[in-house]
Amino acid sequence: MSDVLQQLAQILEQRKLETADKSYVASLYAKGLDSILKKIGEEATETVIAAKGGDKKQIIYETADLWFHCMVLLADQGLGPDDVLQELQRRFGLSGLEEKAQRNK
Ligand SMILES: N=c1c2ncn([C@@H]3O[C@H](COP(=O)(O)OP(=O)(O)OP(=O)(O)O)[C@@H](O)[C@H]3O)c2ncn1[C@@H]1O[C@H](COP(=O)(O)O)[C@@H](O)[C@H]1O
């Protein structure tokens, strides 16, 4: 399933060549980093509200919106899902406390 993230990352790269009137993603790139960050803030809030409401379908829907906008942020910054997945993989061998200790070094 992580192929889905790779496929989406490819589409997000292609959208860097597209114009804002033809593509939502291109319009976000054109508006700039603050607009992408604003969408992430909105989608995070909507995810929290969905979770408080307890409707599983809504939680999935809002989380997909949140992940999607985080993917747009990564692409905008010249990063991709592999960068995040590698970081998560690195943490497999660590307990939460060990990870926190490394972070604070
Ligand atoms: N996965 C998504 C995706 N998820 C959510 N969205 C859009 O993200 C926005 C979510 O914002 P909101 O929930 O606030 O809804 P809204 O009020 O319509 O949003 P705004 O217009 O206010 O920004 C909506 O416009 C959704 O359509 C997405 N837009 C695109 N994709 C993927 O990105 C690809 C490229 O999209 P385009 O650039 O539009 O071709 C698509 O083929 C999809 O695979």
| Residue range 28-57, pLDDT digits in tens | 999 999 999 999 999 999 999 999 999 999
pTM tops 0.90, yes or no:
yes
Q: How many CB atoms lie within 10 A of CB 13?
A: 12
Burial (CB count within 10 angstroms: exposed 0-12, middle 13-18, buried 19+), residue 90: exposed
Ligand 1 touching residue 24 (CB < 6 A)? yes
Q: Which helix (H) or strand (E) holds 67?
A: helix 56-76
Query: What is the average per-residue pLDDT within 72-99?
Result: 92
Ligand 1 touching residue 63 (CB < 6 A)? no
Q: Which of 5, 24, 47, 71 to mutate to test the pocket of ligand 1 (most atoms within 8 A of CB)?
A: 24
Interface confidence, given as ipTM, is 0.92
Q: Hey, what domains does the chain have and what are their CATH numbers?
A: 3-103 (1.10.287.1080)
Burial (CB count within 10 angstroms: exposed 0-12, middle 13-18, buried 19+), residue 61: middle
CA dihedral 48, 52, 53, 59 (to 10 degrees): 40
